[in-house]
Structure 1
Amino acid sequence: MKIKALTLTSVVLMGIVSAPSFSADADKRIRFDGFPDFDSSLKVILPDFEKKTGIHVDYLMNNHGDHHTKLTTNLATGSGAGDVIVVDVEKIGPFVASGGLVDLSKKYGADQYADRFAPYAWSQGKGGDGDVYGMPVDLGPGVMYYRTDIFKKAGLKVDDVIKSWDSYIAAGEKLKKIGIQLIPSAADVAQTIIFTTVPEGEGIYFDKNGKSVVTSERFVHAFQVAKEIRDKGLDGQILAWSNEWYEGFRKGTFATQLSGAWLLGHLQNWIAPETSGKWAVSHLPNGIYGSWGGSFLSIPKQSKHQDEAWELIKYMTTNRAIQLKHFATIAAFPANVTTYDDDMFKEKIDFLGGQQARLLFAEVARNIKPVQPSKGDHIARSIIFENALMEVLDENKDIKTALKEAERLIKRRTRNL
């Protein structure tokens, strides 16, 4: 290790500790538990935080899945968690319901910062009591990435393609004629519809009274559109984050991907940097606005340094300059709406052919409606997307039958929550 790397921050990455060459005050040392690419951001923002506060921050990074599995155990046993933890939007509901997180409203007056955040994200960080347990740190405004060169070759105009799901599918049929897939997986379309057409004030899988809604027209329609795409041979049946998925972006085997704004960082930094200038982004099809991911910062009750942990959370979320630095470093879209008038948002993005895409991301973020998280969300998500949808797409199971069976399973598995 180079001498200049021995900073105030000790790095704990993938379980490997690189200890600093000094002994810090234990009362001023905290640990941050997260997943990549948070480590890249922390390397940039922590030196100033440590200098200003005297609080030293170690960090532990595990991959997304292992991180949340570990936290589930930590919160259940009351030990082992960091002082600040990153929680994905899909897990914030069950983690809050576990009772293992500090009430940031009661202890630190977090509600005073509500106006600084996208309303839908602020709502997601709340518990059933209306108090805040997770401070939003980044968002995933939903957009459609598309290959401009492939669209031109197929004679497609993006505004026509996204008018409706019918026009999106029609575009897929044109693309098929030139040997290009519309999208890696039809399942992404079902997910998009399910996530973006939630009645205001309700949850994705449960209504405000905790009753399952997975047999509703919203789910039926989502499955129908995805099934039509699959039946017409318009998707590649490619799983996200697989080697085939990466290769598809690099080789242009599919023309669109529905995702969050954060995908830009992955595409330009490591998945397909050689395709720079061939991509652009648009609104999602059918005039819908929706979120595709997002992260929260919370403090486990088991933390012995809660006040110091709050200082770091406040620094990373309420501070405009730090939110912008987080954005510039890893393309994690700011949850703090006070950043959206910064000149950074007007910058042309070379990877997207000079498009001022951040303005579009901000517009989407402002228009997303709040969705009520539920403690059974993680169970319902698994059953819907890993069981029911796959049975419909891969095994030709009747849609309504699959959803009714999924609902029975969800009720059984969430009965004791």
Structure 2
Amino acid sequence: MSDPHRRHLLAAALATAAGACPARAGEGAGPARLVVAAFPLVDQIIRDALPAWHQANGGVEVEVISRQYDDHHTAMTTALSSSSGGSHLPDVMALEASYMGRFSLGAGLQDLSAPPYGAEALRERFVPFAFEQARNRQHALVALPTDIGPGTLLYRRDVLDRAGVTPAELTASWEAYVAAGARIKARTGAYLIAHARYLKNIVIAATQPPGHSAYFDAQGRPAVDGPAFQRAFSLCLQVRRQGLDAIVDTWRNDWAEHLRRGRLATELTGAWMAGQLAAVIAPETRGLWRAAQLPGGSYAGYGGTYYAIPRRSDPARKALAWNLIRHLTLDRALQLRAFKGYDAFPALLSAHEDPFFDEPMPFLGGQRARQLWRDAARRIPPRPLHRQNKFAEEVLNGELDNVLIYDKPIPQALGDAQALLQHRANR
């Protein structure tokens, strides 16, 4: 799961590395220019990574076309579906993880498993879940990951201390998390979480059976009325009835103010949020936060970035485009530079062995939290993608509102969501 709006603040990490490629610039009359489409701040990380690649590839120029997050993905959707073909397509496109299902399950992206790309040989070099989630229905790999967002529970240590709640009590299970939230609210007045919706999202993402996407079963059929959804909706209803959520949306001013004032005890989020809090949102809370694994031994991803080659882009440029993607995903030093500069957690496993992961984090009171996130990254189960995931999430959000605001029975809400998704699937 992911929060796309974080891309307006977070530098969605780009990485690089040299490696074998189908062809090199300068061999014959190869293309002298590539076009890469990206979004903030991925665009800047790409630009930072280009000088070495430019020098190693005979001076080939790279034009980076940047659009705002939503505009970028809309433009890529339009370009891939256009009948006019390659003239409107970039040679390389950056895609956020939440959009991968929409793009990968069509026919618009190049199969990187096939010759001359041979991307399957790179599998052991990446965090497993990120690599596997770039596959289409035919199990072909259509993108390479560069950064990921290991899920974490960030909590205010000072608020927990005042409430007499220990981190172990907060994380024992999802039910324990809600119960601890009730004690925190009663004893400190602080809310447990910004919005019950975010609890629903992570419980579903972390507890679905293997082989299922968040909302669809292993055969791609809607499956939103089972035990995981019953549990998630029930927990959210407990949160709302006990007044444990502030009913504020992430990235809004009131959300940020709650964080600054200690009015939110926890954030269920990606590891990158610690950097955002430290640098942008609440730097004055330095030393008050800590990180833990998600409750109940759960592991889930929050966002990430991939690179792909459009299938109908200019064939003469594809070898060089693949060369660039390898540069942007396989270089350990560049991955670490993006991590240190933009909190973009590397998908490249070799980067995880750097001493930087063992350094204390002052914003988290000296905790060596990157070790925690590294462990989580390797435990996140891969989940197949589905082109309707974002629509399904909107449907579930609507039905959750019906439960929380209008007292709609949970079985009826989930049954209606299942019926709507089934109807859409049958169209």
Normalised TM-score (structure 2): 0.88
Q: Work out the CA distance in 2 between the residues paired with 1:272 and 1:235.
A: 19
Residues 57 and 269 from structure 1, CA distance in 2 versus in 1: closer, same or farther, beyond 3 angstroms? farther
- CA separation of 1:132 and 1:180: change in aligned 2, threshold 3 A: same
| 1:306-345 → structure 2 map (5 Å cutoff) | 306-345=318-357
Q: In the alignment, does 2:418 pair up with 1:407?
A: yes
**Aligned ranges 1:7-18 → 2 under 5 Å:** none
Q: Give secondary structure in 2 for the equivalent of 1:104.
A: coil
Deviation string for 1:222-266 (max 9, x for gaps)?
111011101110110111121212222222211100001121222
Match of 1:114 in 2: 123
Q: Any unmatched runs of 5+ in structure 1?
A: 1-24
Correspondence for 1:392 among 385, 397, 403: 403
Alignment of 1:181 onto 2:186: no
Deviations for 1:152-190, whole angstroms, at most 9, x for unmatched residues?
222221112111223212221222122111111111111
Q: Deviations over 1:3-31 (max 9, x none)?
A: xxxxxxxxxxxxxxxxxxxxxx9922222
Q: Does the aligned pair in 2 maintain the 1:55–1:308 contact within 8 Å?
A: no
Distance 1:82 1:329 in 2: 27
Kept in 1: contact 2:47–2:64 (CA 8 A)? no
Aligned partner letter, 1:403? L
Cα deviations across residues 270-307 of structure 1 (Å, max 9, x unaligned)? 11222221111101111211112222111112322222
Deviation for aligned residue 1:37: 2.1
Structure 1 residue identity aligned to 2:271: A
CA contact (8 A) 2:309 2:321 kept: yes
Residue 173 (structure 2) aligns with: 164
Q: CA RMSD, aligned part only?
A: 1.7
1:82 corresponds, among 81, 84, 90, to 90
Q: Does 1:253 align with 2:232?
A: no
Deviation at 1:40, TM superposition (A): 3.5
Structure 2 residue 37 is the aligned partner of structure 1 residue 29:
no
Counterpart Cα distance in 1 of 2:67 and 2:405 = 32
CA deviation string 1:351-395 (max 9, x = no partner): 11111111001100111111111222222122112x112222222
Q: Give the match for residue 67 of structure 1.
A: 72
Q: 1:293-332: CA deviations, max 9, x gaps?
A: 2221111123222222211211111222222122112111
TM-score w.r.t. structure 1 length? 0.90
2-structure distance, mates of 1:229, 1:81 = 46
Is the 8 Å Cα contact of residues 46 and 328 (structure 2) preserved in structure 1?
no
Partner of 2:146: 137
Question: C-alpha separation between the residues in 1 aligned to 2:294 and 2:55?
Answer: 43
The aligned residue for residue 211 of structure 1 is 221
Cross-structure match for 2:212: 202
Would you say 1:223 and 2:227 are equivalent positions?
no
1:351 to 357, 360, 363: 363
Identity of aligned residues (%): 36
How many residue pairs align between the two structures? Answer: 391
| Partner SS, residue 200 of structure 1 | coil
Q: CA deviation at 1:38?
A: 1.2
Q: How far, CA to CA, are the matches of 1:159 and 1:106 in structure 2?
A: 47
Alpha-carbon distance in structure 2 between the residues aligned to 1:81 and 1:225: 45
Gaps of 5+ in 2: 1-28
